[in-house]
A = this chain, B = another copy of it.
Amino acid sequence: MQSATGKMINAYVPGRGNLPADQAAMAERRARLLGPAYRLFYETPVHLIRGQGVHLYDADGQAYLDCYNNVASVGHCHPRVIEAMSTQAATLATHTRYLHDGVLTLAERLLALFPPELSHAMFTCTGSEANDLAYRIARAATGGSGVIVTDNAYHGVTLATAGMSMSIGPAVAPGPGVFAIAAPTPANYPEGVASGFAAAVTAACGQMRAQGIRPAMLIVDTVFSSDGVWPDPAGFLADAAAAIRAEGGLFLADEVQPGFGRLGTSMWGFQRHGVVPDMVSLGKPMGNGYPVAGLVIRPEVIAAFGAQSRYFNTFGGNPVSAAAALAVLDVIRDEGLMENAARTGAVFRDSLAGLASDRFGEVRGAGLFIGVDIVQDGQPAPDRAVRLVNLLREERILISATGAQGHILKLRPPLPFSEDNAAQVVETIARLLPRL
């Protein structure tokens, strides 16, 4: 099962929209220079030139409330992160084949945020590289190559991880050994999400073995972002992790989107499920925009890979990336951003739930990661969802939509988001709903 068309939700269609002449020229320049594989957001794309806190600004100085971007997670252009990054970049930017304290301090600070079983950290530049490395490690550890993903998963853009990313659509073939199972929703598993999802893992392993493939790993985004945001009931992932382990495979928690405190009650999504993964991949918000990502791993899992091969990533773990990532951890702690995600997220979700109607369906989420079903006659209404996303853009509020059918609003603001910011979004949606 894959998304029906593979078309990107909320993609700009060149030549349409109400772009002013100078921006239309930019869009044409993009197509000419960057080629046919790049996409812009929105019916009428946004030209942004500045960011600060939870706001982005266009060339006319108009402010957009950012309710979407999870990379600048501690706020756009946070001065502590900029300062740490700039100072280190002016001091030294080499690599991990010389001794340097930065990468070690980062590893220590990061590992202190994980259960003690997960005691090694490795560093890459992107979440794609982290998941790709995890797969290489899983193959060495298990001797298998089979991978289980959910049916609208997104895990990266390398050949191996794009093959695990059903959400890119049918034009990108699943990789050899990749088996997709239905996302953990009550509709897909009416007998119970925990037992049903675990049974699907076991069944997929059976299909693999029937094709002569041994299981290597189950990989899931722990909030199931691209499947439409499915955080509950907390705890349901433990059975699936047990199921893949019973088959000799590993459990990889992809925390690239949910990680770093966004879910409010814990730094990592897997912690809500009472399970300790074999590997955890990290990315997007890790450097608040600086390209840094990584993998946290059990020693017994990396042993086989480490005995066979070395790992070197030219930029991964360099002193500048370490300084940026350390500053992000400092800011999350000192500004209480995880606590804010819990508090503001709860208020935000409650307020959104108050808009419930025949158009505005279930509100799901944890902390500041929120999904809302947009429906018509009880059925998914992707056209309405995309229309709302674009109406909000005209009101200078940035969100997007997700899910295999594209009918689920995705709200995922920078973590310093306030209750006033949330109120602005809710009031604006309330005003726009009759126009869907």
The residues of B that contact A313 with a CB separation of less than 8 Å are 126, 128, 157
Q: Which of B98, B128, B292 contacts A45 (CB 8 A)?
A: B98
The residues of B that contact A120 with a CB separation of less than 8 Å are 33-35
Assuming the A-B contacts A41-B97, A120-B34, A157-B312, are A48 and B92 also in contact, with contact meaning beta carbons closer than 8 angstroms in the complex? Answer: yes
* Chain A 310-349 interface mask (CB, 8 Å, partner B; 1/0): 1111110110110000000000000000000000000000
Q: Are B121 and A33 in contact (CB under 8 A)?
A: yes
Stoichiometry, copies per complex:
2
Selecting from A201-209, A230-238, A242-250, A295-303, the interface stretch reads: A295-303
Docked complex Cα distance between A351 and B387 (Å): 69
* Minimum Cβ distance to chain B for residue A81 (Å): 8
Q: Are B8 and A310 in contact (CB under 8 A)?
A: yes
The residues of B that contact A48 with a CB separation of less than 8 Å are 92, 94, 98-100
The residues of B that contact A121 with a CB separation of less than 8 Å are 33-35
Assuming the A-B contacts A314-B71, A314-B284, are A49 and B100 also in contact, with contact meaning beta carbons closer than 8 angstroms in the complex? Answer: yes
Q: Are A168 and B309 in contact (CB under 8 A)?
A: yes
Taking the complex as formed, is A36 at the interface, i.e. its CB lies under 8 A from any CB of chain B? yes
Q: Are B99 and A37 in contact (CB under 8 A)?
A: no
Closest chain B residue, CB of each to CB of A318: B289
The residues of B that contact A302 with a CB separation of less than 8 Å are 35-37
Taking the complex as formed, is A1 at the interface, i.e. its CB lies under 8 A from any CB of chain B? no
Q: Are A309 and B51 in contact (CB under 8 A)?
A: no
Q: Are B309 and A169 in contact (CB under 8 A)?
A: yes
Most buried by B among A39, A49, A90, A103: A90
The residues of B that contact A158 with a CB separation of less than 8 Å are 129, 132-133, 158-160
Assuming the A-B contacts A93-B76, A162-B136, are A291 and B289 also in contact, with contact meaning beta carbons closer than 8 angstroms in the complex? Answer: no
The residues of B that contact A157 with a CB separation of less than 8 Å are 129, 133, 311-313
* Minimum Cβ distance to chain B for residue A24 (Å): 10
Docked complex Cα distance between A283 and B291 (Å): 14
* Minimum Cβ distance to chain B for residue A196 (Å): 31
Q: Are A289 and B93 in contact (CB under 8 A)?
A: yes
Docked complex Cα distance between A320 and B159 (Å): 26
Selecting from A104-112, A182-190, A359-367, the interface stretch reads: A104-112
Most buried by B among A38, A51, A288, A299: A38
The residues of B that contact A33 with a CB separation of less than 8 Å are 104, 107-108, 111, 119-121
Taking the complex as formed, is A268 at the interface, i.e. its CB lies under 8 A from any CB of chain B? no
* Minimum Cβ distance to chain B for residue A96 (Å): 6
Q: Are A39 and B97 in contact (CB under 8 A)?
A: yes
| A interface residues (Cβ-Cβ under 8 A, vs B) | 6, 8, 11, 23, 26-27, 29-30, 32-41, 45-51, 56, 69, 71-72, 76-77, 79, 82, 85-86, 89-101, 103-104, 107-108, 111, 119-122, 125-129, 132-133, 135-136, 157-160, 162, 168-169, 171-172, 283-284, 288-292, 297, 299, 302-303, 305-315, 317-318, 320-321
6 smallest beta-carbon distances between A and B, as pairs: A36-B306, A93-B289, A35-B120, A171-B308, A86-B86, A47-B99
* 28 A-B interface contacts by CB (under 8 A): A8-B310, A11-B310, A33-B111, A33-B120, A33-B121, A34-B96, A34-B122, A35-B122, A35-B297, A36-B305, A36-B307, A37-B309, A38-B96, A45-B99, A48-B92, A72-B94, A85-B89, A86-B90, A89-B289, A93-B288, A129-B157, A135-B159, A157-B313, A158-B158, A159-B160, A168-B309, A169-B309, A290-B320
